[in-house]
Amino acid sequence: MNTRTSATSQHSSKRPRTDSPADAPNQATRSTPWFEDGNIILEAEGQQFKVFRGILAAKSVVFADMFTVGQPGIDGLVEGCPVVHLSDKAEDLKVVLEFLFNSQHRKDSHIPGQYQALQFSIVAAFLALGRKYQISHLREIAVSRITYAFPSDLKEYEIYRPNGVFENFKTWELLHLANLLREQELLVCLPATLFFCVYLHDIRHLSIVDSAPSASQPVLSMQNLRVCIDGHRDLCELTSCHTLAWLTPGQKGADDCQFRLNGVLSLMSSTPCDKARITLYNETVNPLVPCSPFALWDAEGAKGLCSPCKVAAQTTHNAGRQAVWDQLPGVFGLPDWDELKAKWSTVSSLYDGLTL
């Protein structure tokens, strides 16, 4: 990001203009917000926004510092206002400025589950520019939604709820979110996000390897793609070893299995529960283990087991889900949950003193 002026060339009468229209530089276009009585113009990707310097400075220490570096020269004036050139995407800057200068956009609930749904592109802009320009309220709007939809706790995870915080959330936007979280160091939400990428890829609702169908649909970054491919293999193995361990051939079952307690069947090498377990194993795990380590317990999926064996299987299943969740960050090459949460608390505290 640099601050410079936009010059409106003043040609000397002794040197007539000879360049053709095709040779003329591209002119910046006016965009909204544009206040006629504004006193500063921000420009990004050839789009200009006319706003108020004092309001920007009050909301962002970065802008405040930028404005005090030095006064732009006379050649940098457009409609009497200095121009600041920014390296941001024009659309991101537009949504941020519209929020800051439109009171209707600033009404937002801070109660989890009662958020106003926002388009993902808006949340992404708030997260990136809120951090870059240290506008804490923008950043908080983004972070609260992302952490609510992609939590670090298994019980919270069980409610998949991006549509509750993102307006018309598309599955391909998960790829953009994963890239964004790594770029913005919101790593505490990355394990759950990457898992959804892997899981939806596994059930063919999303492709993590194909090229983007259009420029607006981002491809997963190479780093995230690599950990997702490796993570898929590990998650399938963890599903088999933990969540579905109760299906493992030779599993003893419950000590109080109704069939084992039966005097007649106690001498049998295998009980009806053992046979049912083999059938369920072949239906569920053999030959391909599903990438579903966090699937909720389904009693119908344990058909054929006696009641005590079903209870034992459910206990193993639920303990397995938690065991895999505890290992989830490591699956994607990240520090454990405690370190991710501690790091996030440290990063977040840098902005706690900033308010709008």
Q: Bigger pLDDT: 13 or 265? A: 265
If you average pLDDT over residues 299-307, what whole number do you get?
90
> Over pLDDT 90: what percentage of the chain?
55
- Domain locations along the chain: 28-89, 97-204+215-223
Answer for the pair 33, 98: CB distance below 8 angstroms, yes or no.
yes
Q: Kindly state the helix (H) or strand (E) to which residue 44 belongs, with its residue range.
A: strand 40-44
For residue 347, pLDDT beyond 90? no
How would you write 298-328 as a 3-class SS string?
A: CHHHHCCCCHHHHHHHHHHHHHHHHHHHHHH
Per-residue tokens: 116: 């106003």
pLDDT one-digit tens code per residue, 142-155? 999 999 999 999 99
| Structure-block tokens of residue 242 | 């933990």
Q: For residue 331, what pLDDT is reported?
A: 98
Using one digit for the tens of pLDDT, what is the confidence trace for 225-273?
A: 999 999 999 999 999 999 999 998 777 778 888 876 665 455 556 788 8
Q: What is the pTM of this model?
A: 0.82
Enter the DSSP assignment of 118.
B
Which amino acid would we find at residue 43? E
Share of the chain above pLDDT 70, in %: 79
Could you tell me whether strands 47-51 and 81-85 are parallel, antiparallel, or unpaired per DSSP bridges? unpaired
